[in-house]
């Protein structure tokens, strides 16, 4: 059911790789709720071609940008304002990648060039996105900017490796830029900390299946599906959440507040 929550709003959605992507589901819902937007992803991701199907369904233009490149971002923001005929009301940063995780490097044997890449792609790029938006005066007042994060920023999950540091950087940037953007433009900036989700980025983390089941049993409501994450993103882009800023918002079925659950106790008793 649609509520017209984003009627007349314009934005950019980063990170829709395939139909499992959280950003993909956000794009479908944003369209349903009346938004117009540009889809963006790294040029290399374009080669898979799936984003073009999404663009057709959403009647959206696709503008490639490597989120670590200021040049690409400047081009993306200026072209988006042209295509959408005005400034933006929302931006979704749904971007994450670690070469160390991808190449299964152990945490005690990290490649530091790759570590820096992880930080750049998964953390610093959020700053670059907002700095570009601010310099080009691309945001409307009361706009909403969101990034997706994971609880490994606060607690250790061994196979999450250097992505944990990237997510800490990301969440910290949301607070610092959130302050700045609130003061200058009344734009709000938040991160949503999502449950483990079966996507390309998610399943790339070692031991993901076992971990997914564990998190499900540790969450009184179960793991939050991507679809619900998309619903949450839409409410955060809507005018119903205008005074929420500089927050890390848990969207995890209760995982982050649970010490232990009956399901986990039952499993432990069995073994």
C-beta separation of 35 from 10 below 8 A: yes
Tell me whether residue 209 or residue 239 sits nearer to ligand NAD (CB atom).
Answer: 209
Tell me whether residue 140 or residue 192 sits nearer to ligand NAD (CB atom).
Answer: 192
C-beta separation of 253 from 231 below 8 A: no
Q: Does 201 bind ligand NAD (CB under 6 A)?
A: yes
Q: Does 202 bind ligand NAD (CB under 6 A)?
A: yes
Give the integer Cα–Cα distance in Å for 100 and 86: 40
Residues 27, 76, 95, 230: which binds ligand NAD (CB under 6 A)?
95
From 10-18, 76-84, 235-243, 255-263, span contacting ligand NAD (CB under 6 A): 10-18
Encoding tokens for residue 162?
């250097």
Tell me whether residue 45 or residue 140 sits nearer to ligand NAD (CB atom).
Answer: 45
Give the integer Cα–Cα distance in Å for 201 and 95: 9
Q: How far is the CB of 14 from ligand NAD (least distance, A)?
A: 6
Q: How far is the CB of 266 from ligand NAD (least distance, A)?
A: 25
Q: Which helix (H) or strand (E) holds 245?
A: none
Give the integer Cα–Cα distance in Å for 181 and 174: 10
Closest CA to 168 of 196, 193, 134: 193
Q: How far is the CB of 264 from ligand NAD (least distance, A)?
A: 19
Give the bridge partners for 270, in sequence order.
none
Q: How far is the CB of 124 from ligand NAD (least distance, A)?
A: 11
From 40-48, 52-60, 100-108, 257-265, span contacting ligand NAD (CB under 6 A): 40-48
Q: How far is the CB of 271 from ligand NAD (least distance, A)?
A: 25
Q: How far is the CB of 136 from ligand NAD (least distance, A)?
A: 18
Give the integer Cα–Cα distance in Å for 268 and 215: 15
Residues 66, 89, 162, 171: which binds ligand NAD (CB under 6 A)?
66
| Per-residue binder mask for ligand NAD (CB under 6 A), 15-34, x = binder | x-x---xxx-----------
Q: Does 123 bind ligand NAD (CB under 6 A)?
A: no
Q: Which residues contact 126 (CB under 8 A, 6 or more apart)?
A: 93, 147, 170, 173, 174, 177
Give the integer Cα–Cα distance in Å for 259 and 87: 44
Number of residues this chain uses to bind ligand NAD (CB under 6 A): 27
Q: If you compute the radius of gyration of the chain from its CA atoms, what whole number of angstroms results?
A: 18
Eight-state DSSP code of residue 240: G
C-beta separation of 19 from 33 below 8 A: no
Residues 126, 150, 181, 237: which binds ligand NAD (CB under 6 A)?
150
- Residue showing the smallest CB distance to ligand NAD in the complex: 202
Site for ligand NAD in 237-256 (CB under 6 A): none
Beta strands in 123-216 (DSSP E): 139-149, 188-194
Which residues make up the interface to ligand NAD (CB under 6 A)? 14-15, 17, 21-23, 41-42, 45, 66-68, 94-97, 121, 148-150, 194, 196-197, 199-202
């Amino acid at each position: 059911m649609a509520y017209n929550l984003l009627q007349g709003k314009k934005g950019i959605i980063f990170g829709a790789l395939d139909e499992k992507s959280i950003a993909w589901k956000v794009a479908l819902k944003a369209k349903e709720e009346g938004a117009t937007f540009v889809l963006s992803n790294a040029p290399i991701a374009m080669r898979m071609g799936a984003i073009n199907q999404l663009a057709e369904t959403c009647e959206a233009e696709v503008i490639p940008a490597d989120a670590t490149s200021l040049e690409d971002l400047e081009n993306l923001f200026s072209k988006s304002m042209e295509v959408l005929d005005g400034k933006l009301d929302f931006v979704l940063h749904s971007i994450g990648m670690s070469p160390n995780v991808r190449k299964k490097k152990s945490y005690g044997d990290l490649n530091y060039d790759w570590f820096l890449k992880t930080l750049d792609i998964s953390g610093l790029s959020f700053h670059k996105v907002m700095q570009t938006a601010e310099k080009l005066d691309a945001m409307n007042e009361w706009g909403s900017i969101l990034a997706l994060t994971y609880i490994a920023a606060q607690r250790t999950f061994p196979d999450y490796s250097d992505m944990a540091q990237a997510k800490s950087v990301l969440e910290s940037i949301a607070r610092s830029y959130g302050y700045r953007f609130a003061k200058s433009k009344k734009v709000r900036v938040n991160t949503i900390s999502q449950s483990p989700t079966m996507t390309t980025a998610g399943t790339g983390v070692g031991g993901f299946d076992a971990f997914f089941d564990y998190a499900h049993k540790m969450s009184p409501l179960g793991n939050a599906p991507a679809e619900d994450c998309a619903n949450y993103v839409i409410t955060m882009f809507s005018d119903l959440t205008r005074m929420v800023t500089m927050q890390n918002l848990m969207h995890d079925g209760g995982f982050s507040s649970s010490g232990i659950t009956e399901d986990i106790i039952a499993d432990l008793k069995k073994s």
